[in-house]
Amino acid sequence: MSARQELANAIRALSMDAVQQAKSGHPGAPMGMADIAQVLWTDYLKHNPNNPNWADRDRFVLSNGHGSMLLYSLLHLTGYDLSIDDIKNFRQLHSKTAGHPEYSYCPGIETTTGPLGQGVANAVGMAIAEKTLAAQFNKGAFNIVDHHTYAFLGDGCLMEGISHEACSLAGTMGLGKLIMFYDDNGISIDGEVEGWFTDDTPKRFEAYGWQVIPNVDGHNSTEIIAAIEMAKTNTESPTLICCKTVIGFGSPNKEGKEDCHGAPLGEDEIKLTREKLGWKHGAFEIPDDIYAGWDGKTKGDEAETHWNTQFENYRAAHPELAAEFERRTSGTLPENWEANTTAYIADLQEKGESIASRKASQNALNAFGPLLPELLGGSADLAGSNLTLWSGSKGLKADDASGNYVHWGVREFAMTAAMNGIALHGGFITYGATFLVFMEYARNAMRMAAIMKQQNIQVYTHDSIGLGEDGPTHQPIEQIANLRMTPNMSLWRPGDTVESAVAWKAAIERNDGPTCLIFSRQGLPHQERSAEQVANIAKGGYVLKAFADGEQDALLIATGSELGLAMDAAAVLTEKGQNVSVVSMPSVDLFLAQDDAYKESVLPAAVRNRVAVEAGIKDYWYKFVGLDGAVVGMETFGESAPASDLFKLFGFTVDNVVATVEGLIGKGQ
């Protein structure tokens, strides 16, 4: 047995032992890809277990995340902070070794993978980030950004549509430092894939503009080495290395079968596997010489030390760029950020423009963009409608990646998942855009951003039946509620230019999760505010119109395009002698994060006559108005007609809001 095989067998042993002890998991992929992993991680992967966050490390993504024991084995063996006890604790509560790789659970995990195909898109995003950062910072002989992105993927990843979206764009963008290994084992959970997956994968990727290296024996280190060498010499195109492997390699009775895909091998089969592999060690037992063969700390320290020396030389030659690189990779905002953004917001309040909030969003980008060289924007083929291009936008191209804008094409899912990869890579604040209704295509990627606590800003325009003539297919009804109910998701639906700018400021400052910015197609009226009210916008909800002295009769809660409607209705009610207040709540999650005293000052518990007004699904708002309150909202899908006609049809009129409030007041008398 070769030394390489012996090292690879350590992965197989740890994987089958951990899955067996947990009584659940997926031993097949780790055992099948062990030889590929051994070559990549010992011979090529630039990383440092002593500093997992080194800026110029290669990125490794296990897109087929169910094979998590492959990654955990690699991290443990190469010297990351992942002990053998952690391996033994696979899939247990509060373990570092969760069922699928979870970002931040353990050093060395670059992204959370599980939903198949998203790791592919994450890797594309990381490669975009590397190429763009290199184009912006590398000068002459100083290649301070110079690393590869490697990804492992299986049949399931390639069946998922997101793989097409992401890999098509990767070819167009010429991501030459992106190398993916396709685990072509012909098996998925249901059995042999030839019954449902017969694509000619090499031709598919050739059509994308990738370099394809087909028919590599995934158990032959010589062929694997040759394939990686060939991949690294092509700097113009991403590379797919198609590796023929045997799932569950080494298991006498289960290799090559679905039996080892998602279930433990069993004690008897593990004994037989040890014998077949020539692995003479007990469960979770790794000899010192195997650890020594895998150890990546010395080599990693040397690589990082060399880079540090190069960076200090770079600093001497380009001090401003070096300082900017450190600022951006640390995630720190520019020193002038707070002063300039606060001044812009105050100026907007004074100007009092009445425009569509999507236009207000673009104006905010024009104001904030020059302050943020790390801003990397984009849109899923709707830039002219989403208004996400600003005066300083420059598109990324295959031959010039120095810009700050990605034309994602009609690829909402890949866009959002790739943006997660960009965020995970570091050095950028990234935003994308589409119509709100099409967030449905990308929702799972936003969920992953929330799980991973990654900054991913989505601009969702055309936010309601106000879209008008395009009809129910394009009119979002339930989407805002869906996003609001997602843990760690922040959402803003601003009601005018000022709230739109505050929303952008909050999204840029938030670095522990994604933010959805919901903007209107139609014009929105400016609202008058005091300086205190402007400051309170950042709290997510505030009193825009206070009630007069005496007993309060009712309060209205509104967001976005319905804020002006609520204010108009309140004016009529006031004329009719009703003592009412209006609460603007552009960000429910931020409002709920405030202390109890503030929330009580905005929504007094004693005021039970409450009406929420929003052109979205009604159900969400009952948590604020109670079952004794009322909601002016949607209960059905929309219709195709001019927006003004639709607002009348569905009750978004002053008369209806007034009548709804008066109905509640009447009940209480």
For residue range 478-510, list pLDDT tens digits in order.
Answer: 999 999 999 999 999 999 999 999 999 999 999
Note the pLDDT of residue 1. Answer: 67
Shortest CA distance to 515 belongs to which of 568, 575, 439? 439
What would the mean pLDDT of 340-349 be, rounded to a whole number? 98
Res. 321: pLDDT tops 90: yes
Residue 6, class by beta-carbon neighbours within 10 Å (0-12 exposed, 13-18 middle, 19+ buried)?
middle
For residue range 165-193, list pLDDT tens digits in order.
Answer: 999 999 999 999 999 999 999 999 899 99
Q: How far apart are CA 394 and CA 396, in angstroms?
A: 7
Shortest CA distance to 249 belongs to which of 292, 279, 289, 213? 279
Q: How far apart are CA 414 and CA 441, in angstroms?
A: 9
For residue range 21-78, list pLDDT tens digits in order.
Answer: 999 999 999 999 999 999 999 999 999 999 999 999 999 999 999 999 999 999 999 9
Q: Classify strands 580-584 and 542-545 as parallel, antiparallel or unpaired.
A: antiparallel
Res. 514: pLDDT tops 90: yes
For residue range 530-586, list pLDDT tens digits in order.
Answer: 999 999 999 999 999 999 988 999 999 999 999 999 999 999 999 999 999 999 999
Note the pLDDT of residue 274. Answer: 98
Q: In this structure, what token pair is assigned to residue 549?
A: 């002295």
Share of the chain above pLDDT 90, in %: 97
- Kindly report the average pLDDT of the chain as a whole number: 97
Q: How far apart are CA 609 and CA 603, in angstroms?
A: 11
Res. 668: pLDDT tops 70: no
- What is the side-by-side strand order in the sheet with 405-407? 405-407, 375-379, 429-435, 457-461, 515-518, 490-492
CB 537 within 8 A of CB 594: no
Beta carbons within 8 Å of 296's beta carbon, 6+ residues apart: 41, 42, 45, 47, 48, 49, 78, 79
Res. 226: pLDDT tops 70: yes
Least confident of 142-156, 254-268, 411-425: 254-268
For residue range 435-474, list pLDDT tens digits in order.
Answer: 999 999 999 999 999 999 999 999 999 999 999 999 999 9
Q: In this structure, what token pair is assigned to residue 611?
A: 């009406």
Q: Greatest CA span in the chain, whole angstroms?
A: 92
Q: Which amino acid is at 121?
A: A
What are the Cα distances from residue 254, in Å, to 247, 251, 270, 558? 9, 5, 10, 60
Q: How far apart are CA 245 and CA 247, in angstroms?
A: 6
Residue 151 φ/ψ, nearest 5 degrees: -140, 140
Residue 412 bears catalytic tag: yes
3-state secondary structure at position 320: helix
What would the mean pLDDT of 391-413 be, rounded to a whole number? 98
Res. 669: pLDDT tops 80: no
Note the pLDDT of residue 372. Answer: 98
Q: How far apart are CA 31 and CA 248, in angstroms?
A: 5
For residue range 86-121, list pLDDT tens digits in order.
Answer: 999 999 999 999 999 999 999 999 999 999 999 999
pTM: 0.98
Note the pLDDT of residue 295. Answer: 98
CB 629 within 8 A of CB 622: yes
Note the pLDDT of residue 643. Answer: 96
Q: Which of 110, 223, 304, 412 is catalytic?
A: 412
Note the pLDDT of residue 446. Answer: 98
CB 191 within 8 A of CB 443: no
Q: Which residues of 483-511 are buried (b: 16+ CB within 10 A; e: fewer)?
A: bbebeebbbbbbbbbbbbbbbbbbbbeee
For residue range 122-142, list pLDDT tens digits in order.
Answer: 999 999 999 999 999 999 999
H-run or E-run covering 460:
strand 457-461
H-helix segments, 352-496: 357-368, 383-386, 412-425, 439-452, 479-484
Q: How far apart are CA 5 and CA 201, in angstroms?
A: 28
pLDDT band at 2 (very low <50, low <70, confident <90, very high): confident
3-state secondary structure at position 79: coil
SS (H, E, C) 507-546: HHHCCCCCEEEECCCCECCCCCCCHHHHHHHHHCCEEEEC
What would the mean pLDDT of 8-13 be, rounded to a whole number? 98
